[in-house]
């Protein structure tokens, strides 16, 4: 006999970018069974509302659990809740495996000998492209899709600029509002056409969702108009039929 609590695998779950309609059934079921939900700031209100009243909710996006410095504290909290035998869902915006520091949290669980499962979610770029009425890949246009960050630990992130500057390339750039001028400069320096279509999609999957359709030349101005989180879709313009919808007929920079 042992009085060790039964330890459940921690479920790393993707909340999608905002609306409940972008949540998978797998994550919905995980939330229904959760005893503790540890979530980030970017998780949408509609998804938070699906957490059962009996489950404890821990917002690690708040002050005191601020972005980078607190990662070890977040890791420690996940480990402690799991070791206490609770059913833990670690809920992250979008897909947990895309710019979600998933590896760091998994490493903490592994170091503690704890099990986990990953429940994927819709990433912001997928839903943003859908709002443009566009496919992220297209035969004859782009052979690949790049998912990039505007920032890394060293500051603005360096990329394969020459490759990105080629006509037809498509990239979804996360965390890039502040890097807009840097991105523009690097791409133009490597020969990108200033008329390359660029669309910023702000508050994807939320009521305040806005498309800012512009070009590489207008990227910094358009980024300056975004107040909420935004994903930059380089190489994609909204289809005309989408622009005809009144709620998406947004400012062009
Ligand atoms: N794991 C998330 C990304 C987290 S990184 C995902 O898969 O979507 C945070 C960045 O993601 C933000 O800076 C922004 O670029 C993007 N992002 C996340 N949610 C968003 C939303 N609802 N609308 C627009 N951009 C979003």
pLDDT tens-place string over residues 145-163: 999 999 988 899 999 999 9
Q: For residue 203, which atom of ligand 1 is closest to its CA? A: 23
CATH architecture of 124-249: 2-Layer Sandwich (3.30)
Any ligand 1 atom below 6 A from CB of 204: yes
- Note the pLDDT of residue 165: 98
Choose the catalytic residue: 3, 40, 59, 160: 40
Rounded to the nearest 5 degrees, what angle is found at the Cα of 38, between the Cα atoms of 100 and 111?
A: 70
**CA-closest candidate to residue 129, choices 222, 219, 204:** 204
CA atoms of 232 and 212, how far apart (whole Å):
9
Query: And the tokens for 185?
Result: 């400069």
Domain ranges of the chain: 10-119, 124-249
In tens, the pLDDT along 38-91 reads 999 999 999 999 999 999 999 998 655 555 458 999 999 999 999 999 999 999
Choose the catalytic residue: 3, 59, 62, 92: 62
- Note the pLDDT of residue 252: 35
Q: Which CATH number fits domain 10-119: 2.60.120.260, 3.40.1010.10, 1.10.10.10, 3.30.70.20?
A: 3.40.1010.10
**CA-closest candidate to residue 23, choices 154, 127, 161:** 127
**Whole-prediction pTM value?**
0.93
96 C-alpha to ligand 1 centroid (Å): 11
203 C-alpha to ligand 1 centroid (Å): 9
57 C-alpha to ligand 1 centroid (Å): 21
Query: And the tokens for 204?
Result: 């994807």
């Amino acid at each position: 006999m042992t009085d060790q609590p039964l330890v459940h695998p921690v479920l790393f779950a993707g909340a999608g970018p905002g609306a409940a309609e972008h949540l998978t059934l797998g994550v919905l079921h995980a939330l229904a069974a959760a005893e503790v939900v540890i979530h980030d700031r970017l998780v949408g209100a509609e998804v938070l509302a699906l957490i059962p009243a009996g489950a404890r909710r821990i917002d690690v996006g708040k002050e005191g659990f601020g972005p980078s410095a607190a990662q070890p504290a977040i890791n420690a909290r996940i480990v402690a809740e799991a070791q206490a035998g609770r059913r833990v869902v670690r809920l992250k915006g979008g897909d947990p495996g895309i710019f979600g520091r998933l590896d760091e949290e998994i490493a903490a669980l592994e170091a503690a000998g704890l099990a986990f499962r990953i429940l994927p979610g819709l990433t912001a770029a997928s839903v943003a492209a859908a709002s443009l009425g566009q496919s992220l890949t297209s035969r004859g246009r782009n052979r690949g899709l790049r998912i990039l960050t505007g920032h890394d630990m060293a500051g603005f992130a360096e990329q394969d600029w020459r490759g990105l500057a080629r006509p037809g390339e498509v990239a979804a750039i996360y965390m890039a509002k502040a890097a807009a001028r840097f991105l523009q400069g690097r791409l133009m320096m490597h020969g990108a056409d200033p008329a390359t279509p660029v669309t910023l999609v702000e508050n994807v999957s939320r009521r305040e969702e806005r498309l800012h359709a512009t070009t590489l030349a207008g990227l910094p101005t358009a980024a300056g108009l975004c107040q909420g989180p935004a994903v930059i879709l380089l190489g994609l313009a909204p289809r005309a039929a989408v622009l005809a919808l009144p709620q998406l007929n947004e400012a062009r920079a």
